[in-house]
Structure 1
Amino acid sequence: MIYFFPTKGNATTKFVALTEYQSQLDQLKKEAEEKKVSYQLKPFNPNFITEYKGYVLGLSTEELNRLYGYRKKGKWINSTLDFKKVTDVSDSLLKVITPLFKFPEWINKPKKYKSYKSKYPKKSFEQKKDLNLVTSKELQEEIEVPDFIAERIIKYRDRLEGFVNDIQLKDIKGLYDNQYQKILSLYTVKTPTKITKININKASVKQLMEVPYFDFETALEIKDFIDENNGVSNFEELGKIEGFSLEKIDRIALYLTLN
């Protein structure tokens, strides 16, 4: 309320000045109301309501405190239902402010993840080249295997007199898994070396030494173990032999049989 006190001076001049002053006050009030209205109508993320915004929206201190407490725990409001549960705001007020809620796009439109595709080509057995015929040059140019690794693969294949199975590539020292996978995406053993599997339960030390993975001492230890235990029912039992590693048992089994 504005009080006017009579003072000396021209009454007309003072009246005009007061009228102008009152007009300015009215204009300021009008502008303030317009700003308040425009502020209310602007969409917002309910996770970031300031005290002033809460006041404009009509939220109570208690409702705002519930929201702030929830956010301090690192939790997020992701829906109108979440806002209602957290703040316990009245349904009537919720109905008014809900149209103003603006959630991040990733909430409204969840990201669609692309299905994983192998970076190596998928080829059928017929489409692949023969691993027993691949050259060192091909491995270097097509697989980008270092020259010394490519040569190591060829020399090892020659020592085996040809691969029996793809898994024997695991024996190559220094061959990284991605190179191993890439080789097998383009090559496979199409002409496996013909071998006669050895019956481990009846084999002599000499016969066991024919397995590429056994030296004389290993063959002797296996023979002794077989004799002491009246044979084995699976190749994993060889792991009971002191110092025997089952790391290559899947390759060793390519040359053996149990009966």
Structure 2
Amino acid sequence: MKKQWIQWIQYAFGYTRTEAKGFIVLLILLVTYLSIHVYVWLSPSKPSMAFTQNQLNQNPALVSLIETNENPSNRFKSFEKKDEEAHSRVSIRLRPFDPNIASVEELEELGVPNWLAKRIDRFKSKGGKFFKKEDLLKIYDFPEPLYQKLIPFITISALQNDKFSKRSFIHQEEKQKTLTKFDLNSVDTSRLIQLKGVGSKLAARIVKYRDILGNFVSTTQIREVYGLDSLVVEEILKYGYINNPQVRKININESSFEQMRHPYLKPYIAKAIVNFRNQHGKFQSIQDLKAIKLLTPEIIQKLEPYLSF
């Protein structure tokens, strides 16, 4: 029976025989640990907490501790109270504001969550601008109810300061008009930074991801680049295209574990592929990879253009 379990684990996870045995031992220890805790939790006997009235009168903290143990919900109430106190530190004051110049602190005073206020600030730091009220909804995960509440107070100024001056706006419009379509697999950073909302760091990140990926096979892969806001993605897809992609392939039958470096090949997946190949021989086609349980149909579909047999 033990031998059958070991063989099943080897097949399911791509483990070696030694790794499968270690997995079984770890599983037994985990079950034992959980069983002990479940037994203690279900045990009717509880530690005695008997104190004299005089002791209780002299120690209010002791009374609080006993009440907390007798009524566990008190512990959660204390956390809720702290959470409420943390939120109450920022008093919400609805007043007219320009999202193009409002700071993180000013946005928080308007009821905008800290994470969303920082996301708006990052968007502006990359050159993004709001030209009309609805542009706020293009910020990823901006809540519709919050937008409806802020509508009466949103004022888009006439781009008076240096950063949003009329000259800067006209220059941006002229630059947009001169932009032409480009292949995402050959475009360089100097071309990418001409796009609205794309700075030098973001352009370098796009090119770097393309290089470690081995070229794009679909424009939708641009969404996988870390730190791209929805507005930036929309801008890139407006001009970018893929034309006869020449991708760098990984030979699935010859590559070692160390050579299988790819964003879609996590280390545990690469190890499972190598172990399965060592046990069952070379892969004949992409269909053979379906025998590895760790490889979902989605991962196989994404990997297919980057593999050779």
Per the TM superposition, whether the score is higher than 0.5 is: no
Work out which structure has the larger RCO, using CA pairs closer than 8 Å and 6 or more positions apart in sequence.
Answer: 2
**TM value normalised by structure 1:** 0.37
Q: Larger Cα Rg: Structure 1 or Structure 2?
A: 1
**TM value normalised by structure 2:** 0.32
